[in-house]
Amino acid sequence: MSDAAETWQPRTMPSLLIATAARMLARVADGRLRDIGISVSQFSVLVPLKDGARLSQKELARLAGVEQPSMAQLLARMERDGLICREPDPTDGRSSLISLSDSALARIGPARTILSQGNQEALAGFDQADIEKLTVLLHRVIANVSGDHGCAPAEAGGPERGLRSGR
């Protein structure tokens, strides 16, 4: 048996535990957010536009860290559902600027409440020091994986941080 096979302990590998927790948290959040007509996947658009910004599909794809075709599909669904508006980009006739509709803006408050409740449930039994340490460690993991080793906690986004401030 090789060393790799002997050390294969999925239940003790932080990266697999983080991935499992992320899937479970997203599933719970999606179930709760469904009632207000949004999903976790849409936060990559909702967060950067929540304060009235107008961004191109290319900019949104870059911010979300996804390929343009994936962002195009997400935006098409959001447009179909009345969550975004498109207008011609005055600086690029081939592009459009995306902003949130009034309907989407009205859902941000309820989404914040839902995410806050989920956060409290997920961190039940943790004291403030545990939460702060976990947050710092997760920011380090994100920086390591993203290659952005200068990512400071105040700069790092996320659904809850992004919806906490602003509208």
Q: What is the mean pLDDT of each run of 10 residues along the chain (167 residues)?
A: 66 90 95 95 94 94 92 96 95 92 95 94 97 96 78 43 46
Q: How crowded is residue 156: how many other Cβ atoms within 10 Å of its Cβ?
A: 16
CATH architecture of the domain 30-164 equals Orthogonal Bundle (1.10)
pTM for the model stands at 0.75
Identify the pLDDT of residue 118.
94
Identify the pLDDT of residue 155.
40
Identify the pLDDT of residue 148.
62
Sequence-ordered list of residues with C-beta below 8 angstroms from that of 71, at least 6 positions apart, any chain: 44, 57, 60, 61, 64
- In angstroms, the Cα distances linking 131 to 34, 123, 124 are 27, 7, 10
Q: Please, are residues 64 and 45 in contact by the beta-carbon 8 Å criterion? A: yes
Identify the pLDDT of residue 18.
94
Identify the pLDDT of residue 159.
43
Identify the pLDDT of residue 2.
55
Identify the pLDDT of residue 12.
83
DSSP category for residue 52: S
Q: How crowded is residue 70: how many other Cβ atoms within 10 Å of its Cβ?
A: 14
Enumerate the domain spans of the chain.
30-164
DSSP category for residue 87: E
